Amino acid sequence: MNAKNTMTIDKTVIPIEGEKNILEVVRKAGIDLPTFCYHSELSVNGACRLCMVEVAGRGLMWACSTPPEPGMIIQTTTQEIREMRKIIVELLLASHEQACPTCAKSASCQLQALARKLGVKSVRYKPKQRKMPLDMSSDSLMRDPNKCVLCGDCVRICAEVQSVGAIDFAYRGAQSAVVPCFGRELGKVECVNCGQCARVCPTGAIVPKPEVEDVWRVLDDTQYVVVAQVAPAVRVALGELFGLDPGTAVTGQMVAALRKLGFDRVFDTSFTADLTVIEETHEFLERFKKGERLPQFTSCCPAWVKFMEQYYPELLPNLSSCRSPQQMFGSLCKEMLSAELGVKKEKIIVVSIMPCTAKKSEARRPEFEHDGLRDVDYVLTTQELAQMIDEAGMPFNNFEPDSFDMPFGFKTGAGIIFGNSGGVSEAVLRLAVEKITGARPQQCEILQVRGNAEVRELELKVGDKNLRLAIVSGLGNARNILEKVKSGEAAYDLIEVMACPGGCIGGAGQPVYREQNVKRSRTKGLYDHETLMQLRHAQDNPFVQGLYKTHLDGIGGHDAHKLLHTGYQSRRRSSDEDVPVHTAGSTAQEPLEISVCFGTSCFLRGSQKLMHDILDHIREHDLGRKVDVRASFCFEQCDRGPTVRIGDEIIHKCTIENIEALLAKKKLK
C-alpha cells in the first residue's frame, strides 16, 4: 500500500483509489455512513448533512461533497456527530406528515429507516401546520406534498437523468416547496409518467398511483371474467419483497399467487412481446429495404412515446407503429376470450402486472379505448401485487409453482428479454438476421447489444447489409441521441429506447432500490431465465404462428394492423388553460393582457428567457398594476416561436425589443 495515497478513517488506514468523495472511501472501509439525499446516479446535492464527518484540523465536513485527500484523519461517529444527526432527522420528521403506518412507502421509507437506525425515539420540534391537498391528477403517480422533506431527489432525477424537468423547487424560506411547473397539478404538466421521481423519493411524497382496491372489487364480483397478464421484468423482482435475492425468478409462485387471489386466467405478456418482435421486425425490414423513415424507433415504452410526442413531434413518423406488448395483449385477449367463452367484452376485465408506472397512463390513452371499453382495464405495479398477496395473508415463499394458461401463456426467450435494455433489439435481430440471410445463426445470443452502459452503439454485418443500431435507456440519453440524429451527426437504422435506466427491470413500479447491483442482478436473472427456454426465437412460437392463421390474416394483414398497431400525434406539454404569472390586481383601468406561449416549439426557441425579460421590464418601469402576464400553451405545430399575444396583437419570433416597442406604442413605458 502506498502510504502517501491513504487516509485514516476511524483509526484504520484506507487507500484512496480514485473515489470522487470521502463518502465512497468511508463505505469502502465497511462503514455504512448514513445519507438521505445522496444517490450515486445523481449530482451531489449536500442538502441533508447527515453524512457529516470530522476531519482533523478542519472540523465537520460533508462526506458526499468533499473530495478525499491523502493524509486526512477522519472520525465518522463522535458524540457531537451522533447528536447532530439525530437533530437533523427530528427536523425532517417535524416537517413531514408522520402517518407512517398508512403510508404507501412505509416498508421502504428511508426517513423511517434512518430514525430507527439513529435511535430517534421522539420529535422535540413542532410539526408543520399547513395541510396541503393530495395531487391525484396523474394517471400514474400520486403526490402528497405533506410528506415532502425538500431533499430534491425527484427534481434532480427528472432534470438530470430524464431531461424533462416537470417538477422543481419554488418559493423561498419557510414557503419553499417542490411543485410541478407553474404550481399546477402533476397530470397537467409535461410529466411523461416514467415514475423515476417516485423511485428515488425517500419518503411517500411521490408514489405509484394505487389501483389495488379497484382490482379487489372486480375480483369479488362474480359477473366478471378477470384476466391477469404479467410483464417479463416482474418475475425477477417480485421475490425481493418476500426476502429473496434480486434477480431470483419466481414465475411459478407468482402464477400460483395470482390464481389464489381469484384471477380466472393468468397469462404472460411475453407472448405478445413475441408478437411485437414479429410485427416490429417486419415493419423495420420494409423501411430498411425502401430506405424510408429511418431510423426506426421502438415503441414499447409509453413514457418514451409521450416524450417523443411532446418534444420531437417531427420525428413521430420514425416511431414503430406497433402497440406495446401490454396493449397488444389487451386488444387480442378481449377479442378472442369473448368469442371463446361466449362472454360480452364488457364482462372481461384485463389486469396488467407491470414494473412500470407509465403503463397506467398508457392503458388510459384514448386510442386504446373502443365503445367505452378500455383494452386494458387496470394496471398494477410489482409493488401492488406484493401488497395484494400480503393483504390476502398468503405464504408466497411456500407456494408450489404453477404454470400460465394457454395460449397467451406460451412464450419464447425473445419475449422474456424485453424487460432488459437491449432486449428488444436482440429479439428483433434474431429474426432480422434470419430474414436477411435466409439462414439462422448458430449462436442465439447477440452479445454486442448487451451491457450495462446506458448508451450502446454498434454496427453489425448481416449478409451483405450493414445494420447500425443504438440502444438507449434514460430519457436524457435519448434526447442526446435524437439531437445527433436531427443534426446529421449520427446515423442509425434502429434505435431502441427505454425511459427507465436499465430498462423495465429498473421501472418505478419495481421494489425500491438504491444500489446499482440490484438492477444488474435483475438483468442477469432475466437472461438466465431466458437461457433455459427451449425456444428462443419469437418466430418459433407455435401459438403466435397459429394466431396469424386464425385471427390476424398473416403478418401485415388488415386484422393484424387493427389489433396490433396504433398511431401518434403531437402532444401539448401542458394542458390548455393559461397560467397566471403576474396579476395586476384590482385597478380602475382594465389591465393589458400579455400571454407568452410555452408550448414545446416556443419553449425551445426561448420563451422562458423572454418571460423573465418581460417580468424584469415590468418591475423596472413600475408597470405591475397595468398588465397581466400569463403563460399559454398552443398545439405546438408552429415554427415561428416564441409567440406572444399583447392585447389583440400576436407577435411571432418575438423579442424583448418587440415587447418594449409595443408597450411604448400603447403608452405603457
- State the chain's maximal CA–CA distance in angstroms: 83
Question: Residue 84: what residue type?
Answer: M
Asked about 352 being catalytic, the answer comes back as: no
Instruction: Please give, one letter per residue, the 3-state secondary structure of 176-226.
Output: CEEEEHHHCCHHHCCCCCCCHHHHHCCCCCEEECCCHHHHHHHHHCCCCEE
Give yes or no for a contact between 39 and 514, defined as CB atoms under 8 angstroms apart: yes
Q: List the end-to-end C-alpha distance of the chain, in Å, as a whole number.
A: 71
Angle at 416 between CA 322 and CA 513, to 5 degrees: 105
Catalytic-residue membership of 283: yes
Residue with cell 484512496: 16
Choice among 320, 425, 521, 595 that is catalytic: 320
Give the three-state DSSP class for 656.
helix
Spatial separation of the C-alpha atoms in residues 574 and 50, rounded to whole Å: 37
What is the distance between the alpha carbons of residues 662 and 99, in angstroms, rounded to a whole number?
Answer: 54
Q: One of 359, 360, 411, 626 is an active-site residue; which one?
A: 359
Q: Which residues contact 613 (CB under 8 A, 6 or more apart)?
A: 656, 659
Indicate if 197 belongs to the active site. no
CA 645 to the chain's CA centroid: 35
Pairing mode, strands 627-632 and 592-597? parallel
| Catalytic residue of the set 17, 83, 286, 367 | 367
Closest CA to 414 of 297, 518, 529: 529
Q: Distance (Å, rounded) from C-alpha 414 to C-alpha 229?
A: 17
User: Among residues 97, 211, 362, 496, which one is catalytic?
Assistant: 362
Catalytic residue among 51, 322, 504, 602: 504
Tell me how far apart the alpha carbons of residues 273 and 420 are, in angstroms, rounded to a whole number: 13
Beta strands (DSSP E) in 156-245 are 167-170, 177-180, 206-208, 225-230
Write down the catalytic residue from 211, 240, 279, 280. Answer: 280
Q: Name residue 176's amino acid.
A: S
Q: Grid cell 396469424 — which residue?
A: 548
Strand partners, 209: none
Catalytic residue among 158, 181, 300, 654: 300
Active-site residue, 660 included: no
Q: Please count the CA atoms within 13 angstroms of the CA of 636 that sit on its side-chain side.
A: 24
Name the catalytic one among 190, 211, 279, 283: 283
- Give CA–CA dist 466/646, Å, rounded: 54
Look up 300 and say whether it is catalytic.
yes
> Which stretches does DSSP call E strand in 402-527?
455-462, 465-473, 494-498
Catalytic residue at 314? no
* Residues forming the active site: 280, 283, 300, 320, 359, 362, 367, 504
